[in-house]
C-alpha cells in the first residue's frame, strides 16, 4: 500500500512539473493591451519569430528604436515580429502617457511594429508575459535596464536573451533572428 501511495505521489509531482514546464515554455498565450488600449491575443504571434523589447523614450538607449524598426522592415515578410513594451521602472525614463509614447515612437522613429501598453517587467507587479520571459533557462532573472531583448521562436519558446548593451543590429542578434527565420 505504501508503495502505491509513493508511486502516485511521484506521478502527481512529475505531472505537475510537466504542466508547469509546458505553460512556461510557450509565451504565445493570453492577452495584453496595445498602446492604443486594444486587447491583443498573443496567439496572433504563433508561427512567427518574435523579438520582445522593453522600451523607454528618455533613455540613452532610446536610439535602439531605429535598428529595431529596420529589423522589422527587413524581416517582417519572412515572419519576424517586433513587440515593444514601454516600461518606466528604470530611472523613470518612460513617464509619458500612451498617446505621448505613441506619438514619440511614430514621429521620431517611424515605429510601425506592435507597441503594447506600459507595464512593469520586474517586482510584484510584473506583467505575466515578462514573468515567462524572465524564466528563460539559459539566462533567467530580472531585466536589468531598458531595451533588453528576448527572441521567441515560432513555437513560442525563448531561444535567446540580449542585454541592453547589445544593439538590435549587432551580428549576434541578426544571426539569431536569421537562424530562427530559416526554421519551419
Res 11: pLDDT: 36
The reply to whether 59 belongs to the active site is yes
- Residue 23: how many CB atoms within 10 A of its CB? 10
Q: How far apart are CA 17 and CA 136, in angstroms?
A: 16
What's this model's pTM, rounded to 2 decimal places? 0.86
Q: From the candidates 35, 53, 59, 87, which is the catalytic residue?
A: 59
Q: What is the mean pLDDT of residues 19-48?
A: 80
Is the pLDDT at 175 greater than 80? The verdict is: yes
- Residue 156: how many CB atoms within 10 A of its CB? 19
Burial of 66 (0-12, 13-18, 19+ CB in 10 A): middle
Grid coordinates representing 14?
A: 512529475
- List the domain range (segments joined by +) for residue 52: 2-182
Res 139: pLDDT: 86
Name the pLDDT band for 88 (thresholds 50, 70, 90): very high
In the chain, the number of structural domains is 1
Per-residue pLDDT reduced to its tens digit, 54-70: 999 999 999 999 999 99
Per the prediction, the chain carries an average pLDDT of 89
CATH code where residue 79 lies: 3.40.30.10
Amino acid at each position: 500500500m505504501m508503495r502505491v501511495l509513493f508511486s502516485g505521489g511521484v506521478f502527481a509531482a512529475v505531472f505537475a512539473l510537466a504542466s508547469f514546464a509546458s505553460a512556461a515554455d510557450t509565451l504565445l498565450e493570453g492577452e495584453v493591451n496595445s498602446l492604443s488600449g486594444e486587447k491583443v491575443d498573443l496567439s496572433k504571434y504563433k508561427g512567427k519569430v518574435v523579438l520582445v523589447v522593453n522600451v523607454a523614450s528618455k533613455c540613452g538607449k532610446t536610439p535602439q528604436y531605429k535598428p529595431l524598426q529596420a529589423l522589422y522592415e527587413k524581416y517582417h515578410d519572412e515572419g519576424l515580429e517586433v513587440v515593444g513594451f514601454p516600461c518606466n521602472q528604470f530611472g523613470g525614463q518612460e513617464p509619458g502617457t500612451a498617446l505621448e509614447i505613441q506619438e514619440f515612437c511614430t514621429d521620431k522613429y517611424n515605429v510601425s511594429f506592435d507597441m503594447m501598453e506600459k507595464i512593469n517587467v520586474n517586482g510584484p507587479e510584473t506583467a505575466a508575459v515578462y514573468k515567462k520571459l524572465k524564466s528563460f533557462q539559459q539566462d533567467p532573472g530580472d531585466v536589468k535596464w531598458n531595451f533588453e531583448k528576448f527572441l521567441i521562436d515560432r513555437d513560442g519558446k525563448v531561444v535567446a536573451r540580449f542585454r541592453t548593451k547589445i544593439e538590435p543590429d549587432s551580428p549576434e542578434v541578426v544571426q539569431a533572428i536569421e537562424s530562427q527565420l530559416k526554421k519551419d
